[in-house]
Amino acid sequence: MRIIDLSLPIDEKAFEVHHVEIERVSHKAGVEKFNRVIMGKTLKGKLQYLLGKRILKKEDLPDE
């Protein structure tokens, strides 16, 4: 079993050297974005993503 801890303190008012935008998404939408971004880094990953392969699946998450 893999456990991924996505809990991080997020403070929109904290000082950052560079401009930071916080986009809040549900866990399931975050899984899809994670797959798209990580798999999109290589040509092989892009092709696998287009063919339906995923590193992490929505079903792997506990119910919200």
How confident is the chain (64 residues) per 10-residue block, as mean pLDDT?
A: 70 75 85 94 96 91 72
- Provide the pLDDT for residue 64: 58
The alpha-carbon radius of gyration of the chain (Å, integer) is 15
* 24/27 Cα distance (integer angstroms): 9
- Can you tell me whether residue 58 is helix, strand or coil? helix
> Considering Cα of 17, then 19, then 24, then 28, what sign does the dihedral take?
negative
- Provide the pLDDT for residue 39: 96
Domain ranges of the chain: 27-58
What is the distance of C-alpha 47 from the center of its chain?
18
* 54/20 Cα distance (integer angstroms): 28
